[in-house]
Amino acid sequence: MKIFHTHTNKINSHFKNVLIYIFILLAFISIPGKISAQENSGEGRLLEGDILENAAEKSDNAEISIDTYQENLLALLKNPINVNKATPNELRNTTLFTELQIRDLKRHVEIYGELLNIYELQTIPSFSLEDIVRLKPFIVFSGSNKSNEPFIKQLYEGDYQYFFRIGGYLEQQDGYVADSLGNTEYYGNNQRIYTRFKYNYHNKLSYGITAEKDAGEAIFGPSQPQGFDYYSAHFFKKGTGRMKALAIGDYELRIGQGLIMWSGFGFGKSVYPVTVRRAGPVLDSYTSTNENRFLRGAGITYAFKNVYVTTFASYKKLDANVSLVDTIDSEVIQVSSINDSGLHRTDSELEDKNSIKETIAGFDATLYKGQFNVGISAIYFKLSSPLYKNPDLYNAFDFAGTSLFNSSIHYNFLWRNILVFGEAAISDNLKGAILNGIVMPVDPKIDIAIVHRYFSPEYQTLYAETFSDGPTPQNESGTYFGTEIKPLRGWKVSGYIDVYKHQWLEYSSDAPSYGTDILTQLTWQPTRSFETYIRFKHEISDRNAASDNFEDALTLNVITPIEKATLRWHSDYDVSKSLTVKSRVEVSFFNEQIGLPEKGYLAFQDFNYHPLSSPWSFATRFAIFNTDSYDTRIYAYETEVLYAYSIIGLAGHGTRAYFLLTYSPFKWMDIWARISNTWYSEAEIVGSGNNTFPGNTRSDYKLQVRLKW
Partner 1 sequence: MKFLTHILLFFMSFPAFLSAQTGASDAGSRANAMGNTGVTVNDVFSAQNNPAAMAFVEHVSAGISTQNYFLIDGGINAHHGAFVLPVKDLNAFGLQVQYFGDNTFNQTLIGIGYGRKLGENIAVGVQLDYVGTKTSEVGSGAALTFDIGVLYKPVKSLTIGAKAFNPVRTKTGLTYEEELPAIINLGFAYQPSDKIILCFEGEQNLNEDLRAKCGIEYHIVDQLYLRGGYISNPSMFTSGLGVKIKELQLDISAQFHAQLGLTPGLGLSYNF
Which residues of the shown chain bind partner 1 in the complex (CB under 8 A)?
440, 442-446, 448, 450, 479, 481, 483, 485, 487, 497, 499, 501, 514, 516, 518, 540
CB-nearer residue toward partner 1: 341 or 483: 483
CB-nearer residue toward partner 1: 291 or 539: 539
- To partner 1, the closest distance from the beta carbon of 512 in angstroms equals 9
Contact of 216 with 188, CB cutoff 8 Å:
yes
CB-nearer residue toward partner 1: 291 or 447: 447
Give the amino acid at 151.
F
CB-nearer residue toward partner 1: 370 or 487: 487
Go through the chain and tell me how many residues it has.
709
- To partner 1, the closest distance from the beta carbon of 383 in angstroms equals 36
3-class DSSP state for residue 507? coil
- To partner 1, the closest distance from the beta carbon of 425 in angstroms equals 24
- Distance, CA of 634 to CA of 53 (rounded, Å): 8
- To partner 1, the closest distance from the beta carbon of 128 in angstroms equals 14
Segment (H or E) for 18: helix 15-28
- To partner 1, the closest distance from the beta carbon of 495 in angstroms equals 9
Q: CA triplet 229, 230, 233: central angle to 5 degrees?
A: 150
- To partner 1, the closest distance from the beta carbon of 500 in angstroms equals 8
Please spell the DSSP secondary structure of 294-328, one letter per residue.
SEEEEEEEEEETTEEEEEEEEEEEE-EEEEEE-TT
- To partner 1, the closest distance from the beta carbon of 178 in angstroms equals 56
- Distance, CA of 644 to CA of 6 (rounded, Å): 13
- Distance, CA of 650 to CA of 644 (rounded, Å): 19
3-class DSSP state for residue 122? coil
- To partner 1, the closest distance from the beta carbon of 108 in angstroms equals 24
Q: Is 162 exposed, middle or buried (0-12, 13-18, 19+ CB in 10 A)?
A: middle
Give the amino acid at 629.
S
Phi (first) and psi of residue 224, to 5 degrees: -135, 70
Contact of 496 with 481, CB cutoff 8 Å:
yes
- Cβ neighbours around 93 below 10 Å, total: 22
CB-nearer residue toward partner 1: 96 or 451: 451
- Count Cβ neighbours within 10 Å for each residue of 641-667 and write b for 16 or more, e otherwise: bbbbbbbbbbbbbbbbbbbbbbebeee
Non-local (6+) Cβ contacts of 461 within 8 A are 259, 260, 399, 404, 406, 425, 427, 433, 472, 473, 474
- Cβ neighbours around 345 below 10 Å, total: 25
Residue 178 C-alpha from the chain's centroid: 37
- Distance, CA of 671 to CA of 659 (rounded, Å): 14
CB-nearer residue toward partner 1: 365 or 485: 485
Give CA separation, 645 vs 18, 73, 132, 523, 635, in Å: 9, 17, 28, 25, 13
- To partner 1, the closest distance from the beta carbon of 564 in angstroms equals 15
- To partner 1, the closest distance from the beta carbon of 486 in angstroms equals 9
- To partner 1, the closest distance from the beta carbon of 440 in angstroms equals 8
- Distance, CA of 522 to CA of 512 (rounded, Å): 34
- To partner 1, the closest distance from the beta carbon of 562 in angstroms equals 14
- Distance, CA of 57 to CA of 67 (rounded, Å): 21
- To partner 1, the closest distance from the beta carbon of 417 in angstroms equals 11
CB-nearer residue toward partner 1: 243 or 556: 556
CB-nearer residue toward partner 1: 448 or 673: 448
- To partner 1, the closest distance from the beta carbon of 589 in angstroms equals 15
- Distance, CA of 305 to CA of 367 (rounded, Å): 9
3-class DSSP state for residue 659? strand
CB-nearer residue toward partner 1: 366 or 541: 541
Q: CA triplet 111, 113, 119: central angle to 5 degrees?
A: 105
Please spell the DSSP secondary structure of 435-497, one letter per residue.
EEEEEEEEETTEEEEEEEEEE-TT---SB---SSSSSSSSSEEEEEEEEEE--STTEEEEEEE
CB-nearer residue toward partner 1: 448 or 567: 448
